[in-house]
Chain A
Amino acid sequence: MNKIISMKEAIQEFVRDGATLAIEGFTGLICFAAAHEIIRQGRRDLTLCRMTPDLIYDQMVAAGTARKLIFSYLGNPGVGSLYAIRRAVEQGIPAPLEIEEYTHFGMIGRYIAGAARLPFFPLRSNTGSDLPAHNPAIRTVQSPYADGEVISVVPPLNPDVAILHAPRCDASGNTQVWGLVGMQKEVAFAADKVIVVVEEVVDERIIRSDPNRTLIPGLIVDAIVVEPYGAHPSYVQGYYDRDNAFYLEWGELSKDIEATNRWLEEWVYGVPDRAAYLKKLGEETLARLRPGQAPSEPVNYGVYA
């Protein structure tokens, strides 16, 4: 079965109106290419899950795709606020946005419980905080062991669809990640459907030469999209740098609703796909983001015939 399809096809087939969707990736490996295609296809009423909504969900909220946001850090990392999401939360523009808030460890625990099909995840957090008073899903249980400690728990999170960016996979979807791996593995196992978006598809032999690096097995991958630079303006370790200049630029332009809409018009609705976006972005920007070389030393797995 050929799992490799276009981004257009992947979004058409797997992301429905009203779906619970997680496009994860911590600072790096954030699949903006998928978000832009979802905006172009006019999806509505999505429940968006991400630890750090980042610019990707700021853009999706600005475009009116979302009904609800499940998150743990609502900022433009290293820059400041996410103004489109703030407009939605504070003023209901372009539409009211329901929020469900956790701490980072709380979101991590939700994905772990989801992936392991457990009813909850216990963690030493939330105690003493005002957050549980505003999120009834954050509860406590008493340990049946030892001193009967009362501990905070969070419920499982099982998205309908996860879209996860990665450097490479093989044709079956065995996906390898290096650099920050974030929660990509846990989200993949927690989700009902998994779309992996990669910089390149490589021969199965390359994946099998270094099996320790495989984070997501093809077993749980429903579709593969090959989309070089699909994570820009976030980054892929060793392929391209984070476009910090754009994160700073968005921090300014997103303060203004008209400027935000103009940006969406030009860079999302105004291009048919990622290839056109990259052409518009230009070789100069891509060259600026290209890192130097730092290959790892190969290891010897041994032959045991």
Chain B
Amino acid sequence: MTDHAYTASEMMIAVAARHLAGAQTAFVGVGIPNIACNLAIRTTNPNLALIYESGVYGAQPARLPLSIGDPTLVSGAAAVMPMADLFMYYLQGGLVDVAMLGAAQIDRFGNLNSTIVGTDYAHPKVRLPGSGGACEIAINARRILNITRLSKRTFVEKVDFLTSPGFLSGRAEREALGMPGDGPQAVITDKAVLDFDPETGEMRLAGLYPGVTVDDVRAGVGWDLRVAPELATVEPPTPEELRIMREELDPTGLYRA
């Protein structure tokens, strides 16, 4: 296996890229999501258009951007616009097929917390960045991919603060509110892929990475995680996927470690 050895991050990037197959547009963040999108363009989805909340459509970054407002996103892009246009017409206009979000906490219905740790908003244990664009992305993008490492601190029964809605208390509640987007589709972790029950919207174990057991995954989740009836094994990164990541997308290994 040594010639096919890969890191957990490389696996997450490869899996995320495969989830972008078929999408016309992706709303991109920095780090792993950015590399996953650029990997998808070189593998599963050559026509994928990258949208950044900073006001860029059809970016062709020539270097790894540190921030979502990096000037490399502008040079060579198809369009650069006021952020108002991007949020009103692209995002709220229904043109974002898939968006990738991270969070400090995610709960069993895919609700995200990026605001505070602790339950007292005025006196938080830790003050996190807050929503940024995450809340409206979670509401308006067609589907949401969450990219998060398994940990009981992160996968909690109930988030301390609900920053960005997943299915709220279940699919029925989200549907009743008439949100344009379909909500969370998958959570891509370092050990497994989780999806959401098509009836209830509860998160469940859908696919195990090679060498991982159900108990390994449950050990990183803060509630009694259910297992999907058709539990799959997720294919490891191919040699070609690894080559592109290592030679072209992240040669210094900043995000692959």
Contact = CB atoms under 8 A, between A and B. Distances in A.
Contacts of A101: 115, 130-131
A125 B139 contact: yes
A112 B84 contact: yes
Interface in A122-179: 123-131, 134, 149, 178-179
Interface in B115-139: 115, 121, 123-124, 126-136, 139
Nearest to B161: A130
Given A124-B139, A129-B164, A181-B82, A71 B130 contact: yes
A228 interface: no
B165 interface: yes
Specify the main secondary structure of chain B where it touches its partner. loop
Interface in B203-220: none
A127 B249 CA distance: 37
Interface residues of B, number: 54
A28 B71 contact: yes
B82 A183 contact: yes
Given A89-B127, A124-B139, A242-B66, A130 B163 contact: yes
B71 A129 contact: no
A85 to B, nearest CB: 8
Interface string B46-84: 000000011110000000011111110111100011111
Given A104-B53, A108-B84, A242-B71, A129 B165 contact: yes
Interface residues of A, number: 53
A73 B130 contact: yes
Interface stretch (B6-14, B143-151, B172-180, B225-233): B172-180
Contacts of B124: 89-90
Contacts of A86: 127
A168 to B, nearest CB: 17
Contacts of B53: 104
A181 B81 contact: yes
B133 A103 contact: yes
Contact of A131 (B87, B133, B135, B168): B135
A104 B67 contact: no
A277 interface: no
B87 A105 contact: yes
B162 A128 contact: yes
Residue from B65, B67, B115, B124 whose CB has the most chain A CB atoms within 10 Å: B67
Nearest to B177: A127
A281 B126 CA distance: 34
Contacts of A242: 66-67, 69-71
A128 B168 contact: yes
Contacts of B73: 180
Contacts of A244: 66-67
Contacts of B127: 74, 85-86, 89-90
Given A128-B162, A130-B162, A180-B80, 13 more contacts: A85-B127, A103-B133, A103-B136, A108-B87, A125-B139, A125-B140, A127-B179, A131-B135, A131-B163, A149-B178, A179-B80, A180-B55, A247-B67
6 pairs of A and B residues whose beta carbons are closest in the complex = A27-B69, A128-B165, A75-B129, A73-B132, A78-B67, A125-B136
